[in-house]
Amino acid sequence: MALIVQKFGGTSVGTVERIEQVAEKVKKFRERGDDIVVVVSAMSGETNRLIELAKQIGDQPVPRELDVMVSTGEQVTIALLAMALIKRGVPAISYTGNQVRILTDSAHNKARILQIDDHKLRTDLKEGRVVVVAGFQGVDEHGNITTLGRGGSDTTGVALAAALKADECQIYTDVDGVYTTDPRVVAKAQRLDKITFEEMLEMASLGSKVLQIRAVEFAGKYNVPLRVLHSFQEGPGTLITIDEEETMEQPIISGIAFNRDEAKLTIRGVPDVPGVAFKILGPISAANIEVDMIVQNIAHDNTTDFTFTVHRNDYQSAQQVLENTSRELGAREVVGDTNIAKVSIVGVGMRSHAGVASQMFEALAKENINIQMISTSEIKVSVVIEEKYLELAVRALHTAFDLDAPARQGD
């Protein structure tokens, strides 16, 4: 008998019919003898609807009151699911975050979980009830309702699993697992049976949107086995674990992530003297703009070129800041480019294999794709290329690193 935390997202509880389907699913697990804690999101679209309502009062809703309001979305779905379970003869009880006592800090709209009281949950489980907990919400030490930030129900699920030392935290969603890359770009993308927390974090921060990044961090920190599954299709999903041993047998690269969210800025002809990188990036960070990749060229004629990427939303403000800096430093010019894309290969296998980066560059060279910037970490190599080559690059790399699904019969 296992203790499982099951989290269902907004689309999985988007209608009463779907909630009934979820209840059927939970019932099956229960009949197998497992103890189940269910965490649900609000019905899809509901949190947005509530935020819109608040904005009709004023552009910037008071954060505390916004939390009082948006937390109601999840209060509806926990009650409906508990009712659907009870109707099926499955004893169940629903709790808000406050009722469980999911204690958070007081940072409204982006609170962090500090502690979870597992007392009530354990008593209910012992007495044979399925416990249905509202995702996304908690309570601070003064009794104020808080919420955890958009997509926060994943974090609630993982935190409950950690507090209860559950055997597994299952995240049910509208995809059947984590893929080697986006199947919409590469038809031969494959579902991964397993991936490590570290790889998943890289994939998530590089653009794969299956799981909330914070939830993956949390799961890694407390070593909660996490499984991504489809809500309404059978299948093993993808297990995210700490275990590198077994994944070693898999290809060196686990996945290819990409995004079109960045833009590139270059300041040309800056004096090659100490402190220049700081003079360039100091004002950028003072303007609260995050920098991702950075490249500084070898100096020539005592000047150098300095290139970095920022989020496309920050491109214009970054360009203005840089123009000012350029005048102050007496640099030659500032040039920018928004038609770029970042492609990354991710895999813990890189730690024990040499030549992975050059294999990547070879695959891109064969397609005649020019690399503009490169950055690496222990388990990742990222390149910036011209945006129009993005899909070609991802497909070429997917093949080069043996990630293509074997051809099915009839293919």
User: Pick from 37, 38, 42, 186: which binds ligand ASP (CB under 6 A)?
Assistant: 42
Q: Which of 272, 336, 279 is nearest to 305 (CA)?
A: 272
315 makes contact, choosing from Mg ion, ligand ASP, none, with CB < 5 to 8 Å by partner type, with: none
> Taking CB under 6 A as the rule, does residue 347 contact ligand ASP?
no
Minimum distance from CB of 211 to ligand ASP (Å)? 11
Residue bearing tokens 């697990």? 29
Instruction: Give me 42's structure tokens.
Output: 């609000």
Residue 159 beta carbon to ligand ASP: minimum distance, rounded to whole angstroms: 13
Nearest approach, Cβ of residue 74 and Mg ion (Å): 10
Residue placing its CB nearer to ligand ASP in the complex, 112 or 279 = 112
Strand partners, 12: none
Q: Give dist(CA 98, CA 273) in Å, integer.
A: 57
Q: Confirm or reject binding of residue 92 to ligand ASP (CB under 6 A).
A: no
Q: State in angstroms the smallest separation of the CB of 11 from Mg ion.
A: 8
Residue 137 CB, nearest approach to ligand ASP (Å): 9
Beta partners for residue 112, in sequence order: none
Give the residue ranges of DSSP H helices in 151-248: 153-164, 197-205, 213-221
Q: Which of 12, 41, 307, 326 binds ligand ASP (CB under 6 A)?
A: 41
Determine, following the binding rule CB under 6 A, whether residue 122 of this chain makes contact with ligand ASP: no
How far does the chain reach from its first CA to its final CA, in angstroms?
Answer: 42
> Comparing C-alpha atoms, which of 42, 6, 2, 1 is closest to residue 226?
6
Q: Are strands 137-139 and 194-196 parallel, antiparallel or unpaired?
A: unpaired
Closest by CA to 238, choosing from 186, 184, 169, is 169
CB of 386 to Mg ion, least distance (A): 33
Binding mask 149-188 for ligand ASP (x = CB under 6 A): -xxxx-----------------------------------
Query: How far is residue 17 from each of residues 73, 132, 174, measured CA to CA in Å?
Result: 17, 18, 16
Give the count of residues interacting with ligand ASP (CB under 6 A): 12
The two three-digit tokens of residue 248, written as one number: 């070693």
Confirm or reject binding of residue 135 to Mg ion (CB under 5 A): no
Residue 10 binding Mg ion, by CB under 5 A: yes
* Contact footprint for ligand ASP (CB under 6 A): 9-10, 41-42, 47, 73, 135-136, 150-153
* Contact footprint for Mg ion (CB under 5 A): 10, 41
